[in-house]
Amino acid sequence: MKEFFKVTDLKKVLEYASDFTSVETEDVPLIEATGRVLAQDIHADVDLPDFMRSTMDGYAVRASSTFGASEANPAYLSIIGSVIMGESPPFSIETGQAAAISTGGMLPDGADSVIMIEHTEAVDDISIEVYRSVAPGQNILEKGEDITKNAVLVSGGKRLRAQETGLLAAFGQNRVRVYKKPVIGIISTGDEIVPIDKTPGPGQIRDVNMYTLSGLVKNAGADPVSFGIIPDDFDDLLKKCVLALEKTDMVLISGGSSVGTRDFTIQVLAELPDAQILVHGISISPGKPTILAKSSHHAIWGFPGQVVSAMVVFEVVVKPFIEQISGLSVKHKKTIKLHALLSRNISSSQGRADYIRVRLNEKNGVLWAEPILGKSGLINTIVKADGLIEIGLNTEGLDKGAEVEVIPI
Amino acid sequence: MKEFFKVTDLKKVLEYASDFTSVETEDVPLIEATGRVLAQDIHADVDLPDFMRSTMDGYAVRASSTFGASEANPAYLSIIGSVIMGESPPFSIETGQAAAISTGGMLPDGADSVIMIEHTEAVDDISIEVYRSVAPGQNILEKGEDITKNAVLVSGGKRLRAQETGLLAAFGQNRVRVYKKPVIGIISTGDEIVPIDKTPGPGQIRDVNMYTLSGLVKNAGADPVSFGIIPDDFDDLLKKCVLALEKTDMVLISGGSSVGTRDFTIQVLAELPDAQILVHGISISPGKPTILAKSSHHAIWGFPGQVVSAMVVFEVVVKPFIEQISGLSVKHKKTIKLHALLSRNISSSQGRADYIRVRLNEKNGVLWAEPILGKSGLINTIVKADGLIEIGLNTEGLDKGAEVEVIPI
């Protein structure tokens, strides 16, 4: 029997991610920053709000003026003015006085709360009846109640969501320093692979993997660049790898699936400048014949040829490396796991992690993961799938009804 | 007491989505199509694979030649050639013969299975020993086993994932017809709002909502366009709305939060060409003062002024309308709900749906949703949040440990 791979455990493979440094940073307009990874901590230079604001439409008052007020026994207050939006009120409030104010308006000096308009009735142009009492601080935001000056608004290494972008807008961060989007080169290899606009001859197939990997790279927040299809030729592949490593931050060699291609790939990787073969085979299925090398500080991957295997390898192995070079900080990488119950028994081999494609179905509020049957070479199985479940290294299988974690795909 | 809104139930509001038609379609290169919504069904014009392929590295054989083979009693086969990748083998296999083949190689005529190389040993250059039997069909993909000719590959109305893009690549769909990305206009209003590059004076605040809404629009697969900040002036706002409706597919009026702005907004909406006010108030909290109008087949929204309310309204109400005009088909809108257990009791008012911001924490494999305390005007509460949970219309509250569905934000 021939030994093909000296397989490495997935956990060990993932530890290599920290060998790779993040890409450079750039300044971008804040309006384009949602989805990008912030490259530095940003602090609050003022309090937010910077003045006492109303959170309701109503009247700014001293709370004590309303104490004891009820429908049966309303308090009478005199209106001394109206707060103009976006302006500092030129008057102050004394006991027994009120000023009309809108949500977002600035409280006049002397006022400590807002009585909602629904709890008042105008008597005439200059006085109101108040039917409820308010407490000091009610229906207002204190200065600095949302964010206090000098607080960290967003830490470096966090991918900005819409709400973080909004928060940075509140502090006038018109441009922000973010990590560049990593550029990921994709080289397709294999004598049998033809471009998708060609009709494949007998024994040929179109370059499915480059399209699948490009989509996955984009979903991971990086920019894919195709370096075309290289036949199984040592010199051609070596030249193309050198070029791709110069032009990009990481390279994926989308395998032709033949032994020939795999042999070329490993030989080519060994010839690259400053080359180190870190991994040659991973204890996962599908995806075992995956290669990871390091050349001049960049990761370069040899992918398995079958598209299902390639997709599993991307999601489970390569994506964390892309996140690493994207500058994403581990402490901000909150992965929320989706739990489901397995709809049938599945068996698995010990000594490797199996990734099973599943369809998700919700029945009476319970989420079921239904394994999709079919050979791993079938692209239709990942098209039907909503996610992957892992059957761990030391598990022989899982029973129907077992709780599983689902990786959405 | 003054009646401000005639509120509409959320369910009823969402039913209006079907009043709006999808945007036009365009052809895009397949390589850019991941994430776009396909505008037509695409069928398979051939079988996939179009020839019988090996899924392993090994030898193409007639299965019957291996029947009964074992370590103790190997079968001897003569090698008559080697399958070249991407070519049709110029020989055929008889009983007792084998041909070397790689994963993805085309089976020669006469062969019906592949014996894995690991289960063989070379005797010399022209013969091998086989230690296991294979069944007909083993380690191969039959012609059409993945996809049969004329099958629907992907239906119109589906948002393409990386795997669908790969599938379309397999069938040479170099360009595909997709729905255009909806263009969503955003108009900021309110006398107190200043551009983010200005330092707010007393009582003024920066235009946070435009930035937050732009990010949310992008996440929903559409393109945001800002129409700037309009003070509370009827004519200016009307002109800007007419312009925005001409240039875009949907308009969001990001409210100043004052009563004045809300009054202008509703009056302006009523004046728009072919105007219909569909909704003026929704039975949700936060987000009650939301307006939906229809003008010349486009939806135009009046958003509440507080950013937290605006975000809830976008996620819960507006996003389904954007999906509708994006061409997304309901049958492809598989929303997988994330379930968690509530970490503490929360109360709620009957007669409205409450959306509570929650942080998610996983403890011993159980996902807990921890309500974030704080007034709804505080932007820090959505920055701390991982999601929203809904407390339904007819629920007075939920107990600690109750199972809740989480809308990730």
Give the domain CATH number at B159: 3.90.105.10
Residue A262, pLDDT score: 76
We report the CATH number of the domain holding residue A280 as 3.40.980.10
**Is B4 a member of any domain?**
no
Q: Which of residues 273-302 of A touch B (CB under 8 A)?
A: none
Alpha helices in A248-328 (DSSP H): 259-271, 307-313, 319-325
Residue B260, pLDDT score: 67
> What is the pLDDT averaged over residues A178-182?
98
> pTM of the full predicted structure?
0.95
Which of A147, A257, A383 faces B102 most closely, judged by CB atoms?
A257
Between B347 and A133, the more confident residue is: A133
Structure tokens at A50: 């910077």
> How many separate domains does chain B show?
4
| pLDDT-above-70 percentage for chain B | 98
We report the CATH number of the domain holding residue B132 as 2.170.190.11
End-to-end CA distance of chain A: 36
**Helix and strand tally (H, E) in chain B?**
8, 28
Is the predicted pLDDT of residue B181 greater than 90, yes or no?
yes
Which of B199, B311, B360 faces A336 most closely, judged by CB atoms?
B360
Structure tokens at B328: 């997304």
Contact list, A260 vs chain B (CB under 8 Å): 85, 102
> What is the pLDDT averaged over residues B386-405?
92
| Closest CA–CA distance from residue B373 to any residue of chain A (Å) | 12
> What is the pLDDT averaged over residues A61-71?
97
- Which chain B residue is nearest to residue A304, measuring alpha carbons? B103
CB contact, 8 Å: B192 with chain A? yes
Is the predicted pLDDT of residue A257 greater than 70, yes or no?
no
| Closest CA–CA distance from residue B314 to any residue of chain A (Å) | 11
Residue A333, pLDDT score: 72
> What is the pLDDT averaged over residues B260-287?
91
Residue A159 shares a structural domain with residue A101: no
Q: What is the pLDDT of residues B192-220, one digit of tens each?
A: 999 999 999 999 999 999 999 999 999 99
A352 with A327: CB under 8 angstroms?
no
A387 with A360: CB under 8 angstroms?
yes
Q: Which of residues 15-44 of A touch B (CB under 8 A)?
A: 30-31, 34-35
Is the predicted pLDDT of residue B308 greater than 90, yes or no?
yes
Residue A165, pLDDT score: 98
Is the predicted pLDDT of residue A3 greater than 50, yes or no?
no
Residue B240 shares a structural domain with residue B304: yes
Q: How many contacts, defined by CB atoms under 8 Å, are there between A and B?
A: 326
CB contact, 8 Å: B165 with chain A? yes
> What is the pLDDT averaged over residues A155-161?
97
pLDDT band per the 50, 70, 90 thresholds, residue A334: confident
Residue A275 shares a structural domain with residue A241: yes
Residue B223 shares a structural domain with residue B116: no
**Is B222 a member of any domain?**
yes
Residue B264 shares a structural domain with residue B134: no
The last residue of one of the domains, among B332, B365, B395, is: B332
Which of B166, B198, B258 faces A104 most closely, judged by CB atoms?
B258
Residue B258, pLDDT score: 63
Q: What is the pLDDT of residues A193-246, one digit of tens each?
A: 999 999 999 999 999 999 999 999 999 999 999 999 998 889 999 999 999 999
pLDDT band per the 50, 70, 90 thresholds, residue B225: very high
CA distance B118 to B139: 13
**Is B5 a member of any domain?**
no
**Is A360 a member of any domain?**
yes
| Closest CA–CA distance from residue A227 to any residue of chain B (Å) | 13
Structure tokens at A271: 């010839």
> What is the pLDDT averaged over residues B150-158?
98
**Is A146 a member of any domain?**
no
**Is A149 a member of any domain?**
no
Lowest average pLDDT, out of A249-258, B7-16, B54-63, B89-98, goes to A249-258
ipTM of the complex: 0.94
Helix H or strand E segment including A48: none
CB contact, 8 Å: B205 with chain A? yes
Contact list, B226 vs chain A (CB under 8 Å): 31
> What is the pLDDT averaged over residues B73-98?
97
Residue B263, pLDDT score: 78
Instruction: Inspect the interface and report whether the beta carbons of A190 and B85 lie closer than 8 Å.
Output: yes
Tell me what the pLDDT averaged over chain A comes to: 94
Alpha helices in A114-219 (DSSP H): 162-170, 208-219
Residue A388 shares a structural domain with residue A259: no
Q: Which of A45, A88, A103 to mutate to test the interface with B (most CBs of B within 10 A)?
A: A103
pLDDT band per the 50, 70, 90 thresholds, residue A1: very low
A76 with A82: CB under 8 angstroms?
no
Residue A164 shares a structural domain with residue A84: no
Is the predicted pLDDT of residue B3 greater than 50, yes or no?
no
Residue B182, pLDDT score: 98
- Which chain A residue is nearest to residue B100, measuring alpha carbons? A259
Between A336 and B246, the more confident residue is: B246
CB contact, 8 Å: A53 with chain B? yes
Residue A377, pLDDT score: 84
- Which chain A residue is nearest to residue B193, measuring alpha carbons? A86
> In this structure, is the dihedral angle defined by the CA atoms of residues B44, B106, B56 and B71, taken in order, positive or negative?
positive
Residue B213 shares a structural domain with residue B314: yes
> What is the pLDDT averaged over residues B169-193?
97
Is the predicted pLDDT of residue B4 greater than 60, yes or no?
no
The last residue of one of the domains, among A141, A169, A200, is: A141
Is the predicted pLDDT of residue A2 greater than 50, yes or no?
no
The last residue of one of the domains, among B332, B362, B385, is: B332
Residue A133 shares a structural domain with residue A244: no
A204 with B86: CB under 8 angstroms?
yes
CA distance A172 to A3: 61
Residue B326 shares a structural domain with residue B185: yes
- Which chain A residue is nearest to residue B118, measuring alpha carbons? A1
- Which chain A residue is nearest to residue B407, measuring alpha carbons? A336
Residue B2, pLDDT score: 41
We report the CATH number of the domain holding residue A378 as 2.40.340.10
Residue B351, pLDDT score: 86
**Is A90 a member of any domain?**
yes
Q: Which of A82, A85, A358 to mutate to test the interface with B (most CBs of B within 10 A)?
A: A85
Range of the domain at A104: 53-141
pLDDT band per the 50, 70, 90 thresholds, residue A344: very high
Contact list, B191 vs chain A (CB under 8 Å): 84-86
According to DSSP, residue B65 is labeled: G
Structure tokens at A100: 């009309």
Instruction: Inspect the interface and report whether the beta carbons of A336 and B338 lie closer than 8 Å.
Output: yes
A63 with A46: CB under 8 angstroms?
no
Residue B78 shares a structural domain with residue B134: yes
Instruction: Inspect the interface and report whether the beta carbons of A103 and B204 lie closer than 8 Å.
Output: no
Residue B350, pLDDT score: 81
Residue A77 shares a structural domain with residue A135: yes
Instruction: Inspect the interface and report whether the beta carbons of A163 and B48 lie closer than 8 Å.
Output: no
**Is B374 a member of any domain?**
yes
